[in-house]
A and B are shown apart, each in its own frame.
Chain A
Amino acid sequence: MLTQTEINELINIVGASGVATAPCMMDTYAFYMNPEVLIKDGGRWAPRPSAVVLPASAEEVRAIVQYANRSGLKVKPLSTGFGTWAAASRDRVIILDLKRMNRIIEIDVNNRIAVIEPYVRAIDLQTEVMKHGLNVHVVSCGGNHSVLASATAAWGYGLSGASMGYSGRNLLGVEWVLPTGEIYHLGSAGDCGRWFSADGPGPSVRGVMRGFQGTMGGLGVFTKCAVKLYKWDGPDRWEVTGACPRYVLTEKFPRLAFHALSFPSGQAMREAGYLMGEAELEYSQFRTPMFFMVLGLTDHNEELKAFLDSGVFQKMTRHVLVNAVVGHSEGEFAWKMKALKKILRRTRGVRLPLNVKPTAVQLRWMGRLTKYLKDPLFILRRLPFLQDLANALPLDRRQDMDAYSRMFWLLIRHANNTQGTFRPSQGMFTTLGSFDTWDLGVTQSDWIAEAKKEYINKELILDDEGDLGCGGLFEHGHLGYLEGIGLYDPKNPASVMAAGELVEKGVAASISNAMGVPIAAFGHEMNKRFGPECHHYHQWLAKIKAALDPNDASDSFFYYQTDDNE
C-alpha cells in the first residue's frame, strides 16, 4: 500500500488520470500467462503491485524513478505485459505501464532504421515500414508484442530470424532511464544523436544493458530505441476477404512462396536446416511439430482430434520445417527455389501440397491405407518431380488460398503465432530453449518429448504425441533453438502444477545434460544455479546491479536480486 503522500507525488508527475491504486485495477497487473513460472503452488495470482502509473515521456519516467530512489519504492516497467515476468515481485512496487509512449518517432528509409517508443506494437511498425519496402523482426509471441521490449529487455527470437537475426541483435541505440533516474543514450545516439549503432563509439555497453536474456525490467526503463530494418520485396498492401477467425488473402504474390517441408528423419531435418541456412534462401522459418502442424490446419478441436486420430500426420509431419522464400528479383527467386529443391533432393525432403485439405473421412481412409507404411511419402521423396505436380495441381483454389493465407499470417505478419497455440487447452508452458546451435535445439526437442510422457500418461498435460520443440534457425543457420513446449489446463491446479514441475525438470536437465541456459532461466534462483556453470555470470550481474542501481529501485525479480545470505 502507498500512503496518500506517495500517491500525490506520483500524481504530481503524471497527473491524476495516470495513477491507479484500486485493488481491482491492481489485480489486472497480477494475472499473466505462464503463472507456473512464478507461482509454485498452482495458483494464478502474482503479487499485487501498489500502484500502476502511466508515464507519457522519458522525463516523467525519470521523475518517477528518482522518486522511487528517494522513497524506498521499486519500479517495474511493462509494455504489452504478456508474460509473468512483467509482474511485480511484492508490495510497494510501482508498475510503469508504458502504453502512452506509443509513437513511431522516425523511419529512416535510406539507412533502414526505425526509432520507436516502448508501446509501438510489432504489427503497427511492420505495417508502416512495409509501405517503404522494409520489414522488421518480430518475435514468436506475435505481432501484438512490443518491439522495444524484445529488443532491449527480453529474449527476442522470432520466425523471421532466419534472415533477420534476433531482436537484441537488431538493436541500434537506446534511450535508457537508469535505475538511479539518469537518462543515458547508448551507442551513437549518445554521441551524435544519430541512431545507427548500439555499440560505439567507445566500448560497447550493450551487454551490460541487455546481457543474454534481457533484464526483464530489472535494470531501469528503456524509453526509446532504434531497430534495424530489412529489405522487403513482398507486397505493401493486400486485400483480405473472409471474416473472423478465418481471414483469407484474395491473391498470391509474386516472388513469395511458402512451404511445409517434411523430412524422413530428425537427422535429415537437421541437415536441411543447415544447408538452407548456407544457401541463405529462407526469409522466415519455423520448426513446426506435428501437433502444431495439425492445429494450424484445423478450425476447431473436434476436427483436430479427427485429424490426429487418423494417424496420417504422425507419419508425414513428424519432422517438418515451414518456411517463406522471398525473391528480391525474378532471378533470385528462381535461384532460391532451385536451391531449395536441390537441398530437398539431397535430404529426401518433401514439399507437402497445401492446396488441398482432406476431410476427416478422407483422412480416416488414408490412415487405413497407410497403416502399414512407415513413410507414406516415400514415392514423393524418390520422385521429386511428383512434388511439383502435386503442388501445381489446382485441386481446390479456396483451400489453396486459405493455406497460403495461413502461412502469410504466420511467417510474415506473425498474426497468430503463440496465440494460436492456446486453442486446445488454453494453457501453454515452455522450458529449455537455449539460444545456441541448431543441433542443440533438436536435442532439446527430443528431451522434452521424453520428459512429458510421464505427465501425459497421468493426463495432467495434453497428449500432443510429440516433442513440441518449437523454434528454428537464425541468421542463416549460425544460431538455432527449440523451446520445449507443452499444453496444460489452466483451470486445473494439478495441471498447472505439472507444468511447473516440467519447467523445473527442464532447468535441471539443462545443467545435467549440458543443454545450455534455458529460456526460463531468469531471476535469482536461476542465476545461482546457472551462474556457476557459465563463467559465474551471476557475479557480473551482481556487480552491474550494484553499480547501476545502488538503491535497488528497479524491481529485478526476473533479473538479479541481492541475496541476504551472500
Chain B
Amino acid sequence: MTLARLKSLEDEMKKCFRCSLCKMIPLPVVASPAYSDGCPAARRYHFHGYSGSGKQIMALSLIDGRISADADLAEIVFACTTCGLCDVACKFIMEAERHQVNMALREYLVEQGVAPRAIKERADRLQQYSHLRKRADIRSGDWARDLGLKVLPVDKAGVLLYPDFLASGAGAAAAAGARKTAAILRAAGVDFGILGDQEPDSGLFAYWTGHRELFTRLAENTLGKLNHVGVETVVVTSGATLGLIRSKYPEYAGQARVDVLHVTEYIERLLREGRLTLPRAVNHTVTYHDPCYLGRQSEPPVVWQGEKKVDRGCMTYTSPPRPVNTGANGVYEAPRSILRAIDGLNFKEMWRIREYAFCCGGGGGVPDAFPRLAESAAAHRLAEAADTGADLLVTACDHCLENFNRCGEGSGEKRIPVKNIVDLVYEAMNPDAARSRL
C-alpha cells in the first residue's frame, strides 16, 4: 500500500538534479551568509542524504531495488523535522513535491518496521491509548480544571477552544498558553467552550512520524468531534495543530466542516471588530518565529481538475495550470498584525521568515529520536533572533515553544527569551479584565 504510494511519486523523485537549492532558502531572499541555510538536518549532518534532494534520491534507489528498507535508511530519513523548507526551496525553480516524497518514504519505512526505536515506542503508546500523555494521571482537560469553562457538547457555545493539549505534550507551556487564550476570549466576550477530558489527540505525532493508519484513525476521530460538537468555529492554540487540520486532514480524513482558525487569526479578527482592545504598553523589541505548520505547511491542499498534457516532444504541462502550494499562503499576517497592534513593541524581522523561515527543530518526532538535531536547530534559530537586536522571540506554536525552551539552554550560541504570542496579548490587555475573567 505505502510502497505503491511511494512508486506513484517516482516522477517527482526523478525531477531532482541535485542542485542543492533544497538546502538553502530561495536565493533572491538571501540577505546574510550566516542565515542562508534552510534545512536543519543538512546543516547539522552535512551529508547530502539528509537534504531534501538526498531523500528523493534514496527513495528512487529504494524503488529501483538498489537499497533496502533498513535501519541505516531510517536513521537518515527520520532525522528530519518535516518542516517542508526543501519543498518551498525547490518550488522556487520547479513544480516538484518534495515533502510528499519525504512523507511517503517515512510511511513506507514505518510499514517495514524500521523506524527508530524512540519513535516506535512513542507511536506504540499513541496506538494503545490514542494520546501521548506522559503520565496516566494527566487528562486532556487538566489545563482548564479550575477555570469554570463550558464543556461541550453538554454545554452549548458558538466557539470551541481546542488546544490539542495531549498532542502538544501536556506541558506547562501548553497549559499556560491555553489558559491565557481562554482569558483573552473571555475578555472579548466570546461565547466559547472546550471538550475537557473528551478532547482528542489530533494525531500530530502520527503524521509527523509516518504512521499513516494511526494518523488516519486519530484524524477521523478528531474531525468527527470537531464537525459534530455544534460550533461554527474552532480555535486552535498550536500552530502545528492548525497546519495538521487545515493542510493534512483533507487527504487522510477529510475536510473540516467548521471554520478552523489559529488563535492569532481569531485574535486579529477580535481586534479588527473592536471586541478586544490592548491598552497596555508592552515594552520589548521583539522578533517573530514563523512556525512551519502555521506557515508554509498550513496551506490547504490543492484542488485541481484538469489534464496533464505533453507538448513540444517532452514539455509537460497542466491545463488549466495546477495551482501549486509554494508555502506562500500560510498564516503569516495575523501574528504580525497582532504584534503591530501592541503599544510599545518594536518589531524586527529575522532574515528567514514566512515561507522560508528556518525550523525550530521541534517537529517530525526529532526531539524524541534525534535530540541533538533538535537542539542544533533551536540554537541556530535563537542566534538569528538575537542577531536582530530583539530582546524577545515570539512564536505561536506550542511545539516551537517547547523545543526552544528545552534546547536553548547551554547551546553555546546566543540566547534570547522566548514567549508565546498570546502571552504578549494577555499582557497588553486591560489588567482588570484579564484578572477578573481568568
Spell out A's residues near B (CB within 8 Å): 17, 20, 22-25, 27-29, 31-33, 44-45, 52, 54, 80-82, 97, 99-100, 104, 121, 123-125, 127-128, 142-144, 237, 240, 243-245, 247, 300-305, 308, 405, 409, 413-416, 418-420, 422-427, 456, 459-464, 487-492, 495
Contacts and interface: CB of A to CB of B under 8 A. Distances in A.
Nearest to A416: B93
16 contacts: A20-B47, A24-B73, A44-B14, A82-B20, A125-B33, A144-B24, A244-B356, A301-B315, A413-B27, A419-B94, A423-B93, A424-B316, A427-B314, A460-B314, A461-B314, A491-B14
A300 B326 CA distance: 13
Contact of B93 (A420, A489, A490): A420
Nearest to B22: A144
A10 B260 CA distance: 53
Contacts, number: 209
Q: List 7 A-B pairs, minimum CB-CB distance, nearest first.
A: A243-B328, A301-B317, A415-B27, A124-B33, A489-B314, A22-B72, A459-B313
A245 B326 contact: yes
A93 to B, nearest CB: 16
Contacts of A461: 313-314
Contacts of B19: 33, 82, 142, 144, 418-419
Dominant secondary structure at the A interface: mixed
Interface residues of B, number: 61
Contacts of A144: 19-21, 24, 27
Interface of B: 11, 14-21, 24, 26-33, 36, 45-49, 53-54, 57-58, 60-62, 64, 66-67, 70, 72-73, 76, 88, 91-95, 311-321, 326-328, 354-356
A499 to B, nearest CB: 10
Given A104-B33, A420-B93, 16 more contacts: A22-B72, A24-B67, A25-B49, A25-B76, A28-B54, A28-B57, A33-B17, A127-B36, A143-B30, A244-B327, A419-B92, A422-B15, A423-B93, A425-B316, A490-B17, A491-B11
Contacts of B91: 244-245
A240 B354 CA distance: 12
A121 B28 contact: no
Given A124-B30, A302-B321, A420-B93, A459 B46 contact: no
Contact of B66 (A45, A80, A142, A491): A45
B313 A462 contact: yes
Contact of A416 (B27, B62, B312): B27
Contact of A100 (B46, B49, B53, B326): B46
Contacts of A52: 47-48
A252 B197 CA distance: 58
Contact of A243 (B24, B67, B314, B354): B354
A142 B17 CA distance: 14
A409 B47 contact: no
A419 B19 CA distance: 8
Most buried by B among A28, A32, A44, A143: A28
Contacts of A54: 46-47
Contacts of A303: 321
Contact of B48 (A81, A124, A418, A422): A81
A23 B66 contact: yes
Given A243-B328, A244-B92, A128 B33 contact: yes
A346 to B, nearest CB: 36
Nearest to B66: A27
A28 B27 contact: no
Given A25-B72, A244-B88, A424 B355 contact: no
Contact of A301 (B27, B76, B316): B316
A247 B64 CA distance: 37
Contact of A247 (B15, B28, B72): B28
